[in-house]
Amino acid sequence: MADTDATDEQRPVSVLFVCLGNICRSPMAEGVFRNLAKSDKHLGKVDSAGTGAYHEGCPPDPRTMSVLEENGNVDYHHSARKVRSSDFKDFDYVLAMDDENLDNLLRLQRRIAKNGGTGAAPAKVMLFGDFGGSKGEQVVDPYYGARDGFTIAYEQMTRFSKGLIEQVLQARDVEEEPER
């Protein structure tokens, strides 16, 4: 992953959030997580991407941005991009918003590993919702719905981000404490 010279405990944790088009759920997750974890010393690279290239180069959906801004996240900027093969090497966690995207990511990761050998795609690929208290919780795509779907997604992103911070980032603080 990003810094191969550092031990796992020393290396910052990098996270990639993934949905279908990278304009609704994954950029919202990225914005929420960045905001909540911005001062954590264990946080490394954070980004978001889509499994499809439908909106490549586009900014997030205006409803995503308005919900982020309503909740105090006013300095978030992003251009949609598609997941790259290198993401599975560059990020420690690749977090999908739903089962369909999770399946696509796992399939891509297996293909990369098959072609590149051991270590070609070491990222931990899983549902972001697994950090929210209920294994397998998914974020429904709000794109075709009303604005309230974006508010529901925001509430989920906040809960999942807090779980990720607690289970991954803060867990490193416990690992670093010297024995007495």
Concerning whether 25 is annotated as a catalytic residue, the answer is yes
Identified catalytic residue from 47, 61, 98, 141: 141
- Residue type for 104, please? N
Contact 165, 172 (CB under 8 A): no
Nearest to 102 by CA among 124, 118, 122, 86: 124
DSSP state of 75: -
Q: Which residues contact 135 (CB under 8 A, 6 or more apart)?
A: none
d(C-alpha 68, C-alpha 97), whole Å: 17
Q: Which of the residues 19, 87, 92, 98 is marked catalytic? A: 19
Taking the C-alpha atoms of residue 150 and residue 63, their distance in angstroms, rounded to an integer, is 7
- Residues composing the chain: 180
24 is catalytic: no
How far apart CA 105 and CA 177 sit, in angstroms, is: 35
Catalytic one of 24, 25, 34, 87: 25
CA dihedral 77, 83, 89, 93 (to 10 degrees): 70
Annotated catalytic residues are 19, 25, 141
